[in-house]
Amino acid sequence: MILEKIISGGQTGADRAALDFALEHKIPHGGWCPLGRLAEDGPIPDEYRLKETQSGNYSLRTEWNVRDSDGTVIFSRAAVLTGGSGLTAKFCKQWKRPFIHVSEAKTKNPARALVEFIDDNRIQNLNVAGPRDSTEFGIGEFVRTVLEEALEQIR
């Protein structure tokens, strides 16, 4: 695994779990967030090194994080991507960036799948995306668990 940086948008749930994981493990992080550092729980804390887009539009942040990464992991608890997660997959196709959907409901050995995706695609800057906590309660815990297990597999 050659991961050098975690990119995410700072929303609650999957994004925030990835950024917290990066901070805890001293992995460089960054990414784009909406103007005003908008998130469903208020302004995104400054501890997350995110740059603001010129718009409060969440989809612009989503697209720029896909564009600026080598590949994207889209986490979900559900088997099917919806909302912003589905839009992330669309942007990955548009920008011709590899992506993997890691679903708690359907992915067997999610950490192994993630490690293989990163290795196979030589991902250095990984965009981590997925639903907000209010959409899929507990998604943050799932993301943290998978990232921790993936890190253990590469040590």
Could you tell me the pLDDT band of residue 59, with boundaries at 50, 70 and 90? very high
Helix (H) or strand (E) holding 16: helix 14-24
DSSP 6: E
In the three-class reduction of DSSP (H, G, I as helix; E, B as strand; rest coil), residue 48 is classed as: coil
Q: Rounded mean pLDDT of 27-47?
A: 96
Rounded Cα distance, 72 and 114, in Å: 10
CATH number for 26: 3.40.50.450
Q: What is the pLDDT of residue 1?
A: 56
Q: Tell me what the pLDDT averaged over the chain comes to.
A: 95
pLDDT above 80 (res 39): yes
Domain span including residue 108: 5-154
Q: How many domains does the chain have?
A: 1
pLDDT above 70 (res 32): yes
Helix (H) or strand (E) holding 32: strand 32-33
Rounded Cα distance, 86 and 89, in Å: 5
At how many degrees (to 10) do helices 58-67 and 83-94 cross?
Answer: 40
Task: Identify whether the C-beta of residue 19 lies closer than 8 Å to the C-beta of residue 10.
Answer: yes
Rounded Cα distance, 125 and 141, in Å: 22
